[in-house]
Amino acid sequence: MSTEVTPTEPISWLNLPDEAALDEETRTLLGKARRNVGFLPNVFAAYTVRPEHLRRWIKHFTEIMRGESELTPAEREMIGVVVSAENHCLYCLVSHGAELRQLLGDPVLADRISYDYRRAGLGQRALAMLNYAVKITRTPVECCEADVQYLRNVGFSDEAIFDIAETAAMYNFTNRLASATGMLPNQAYHAVGRE
C-alpha cells in the first residue's frame, strides 16, 4: 500500500508549488517530516504555499504538542481530536486520531474519544479537560472563572489550564485553515495504530 496520496486525490484546493522550486530550508524541513513520519503529511505540503508560515506553524505546533507541560502527549492529542470532531475537520480528526491510537495503544478507546468522548469511559479529570476544550471551541465568550476553578478542583494547575486553552485554540486555528483550503488527510493515517 502506498503511503503517498494517489495522483487522482488532491492534497488541497490550492495550487501548490513544485517542491523542487522551494527554498532549501523548506525542502530540508519536508525531508525531515518524511523521515519522521514515513510520508509527507499533506498539511505540510499544503503549507508550502507560504513556506515562512509553515516554518513558524511547525515550531508553534511542536512547542504546544511536545513541549514541557503537565499535560501528557496523549491528553494533548485528546484535545486535538475532540476539538477537530467539534469542528468537523476531516484532516485533523484523521491525522490526530491516528496519533492518539499510537499514544494510547488502545485503538478502541482512541476511536471512542474521537467519535464521542463523553461515552468513552474517561475519568472526571479527562472529561473536565475535554469539556473545557469544547466550550472554547463552541462558545469561547462563555468561558468564565468558574470553569478555571473547576479545572483546579479536579487537579489541574494554572499552567496546565493555560495549556488546555492554548492547545484547543491552536487546533481551532488549524482546523479552520485545513477546512478552508480543502486539505485531505493522507490515506496512510487510516491504518496507523490499528494493529
Q: What pTM was computed for the model?
A: 0.93
Residues 85 and 164 in one domain: yes
What confidence category does residue 195 fall into, taking pLDDT thresholds of 50, 70 and 90? confident
Mean pLDDT of the chain: 95
Do 55 and 84 belong together in one domain? no
DSSP characters for 144-160?
A: -HHHHHHHHHTT--HHH
Is 4's pLDDT higher than 60? no
Half-sphere exposure of 166 (CA within 13 A, CB side): 15
Same domain as 38, residue 56: yes
Task: Give the chain's domain count.
Answer: 2
Kindly state whether residues 53 and 111 are assigned to the same domain. Answer: no
Residues 85 and 100: their CA atoms lie apart, in Å, by 13
Regarding whether 97 and 57 lie in a shared domain, the answer is no
Q: Give me the residue label for grid cell 499514544.
A: 103
- Taking residues 40-50, report their average pLDDT: 96
Report if residue 10 sits inside a domain: no
User: pLDDT digits over 94-152, tens only?
Assistant: 999 999 999 999 999 999 999 999 999 999 999 999 999 999 999 999 999 999 999 99
Q: Does residue 107 share a domain with residue 151?
A: yes
Containing structural domain, residue 93: 73-180
Co-location of 110 and 175 in the same domain: yes
C-alpha cell at 53: 508560515
Confidence at residue 2, expressed as pLDDT on a 0 to 100 scale: 44
Residue 5: its pLDDT value, please? 45
- Asked whether residue 117 is assigned to any structural domain, the reply reads yes
Going from the C-alpha of 59 to that of each of 4, 36, 66, 181, 191, the distances in angstroms are 24, 15, 10, 21, 27
Check whether residue 55 and residue 100 sit in a common domain.
no
The set of cell numbers assigned to 172 is 481551532
User: What value, to the nearest 5°, has the Cα angle with vertex 45 and ends 88 and 172?
Assistant: 30
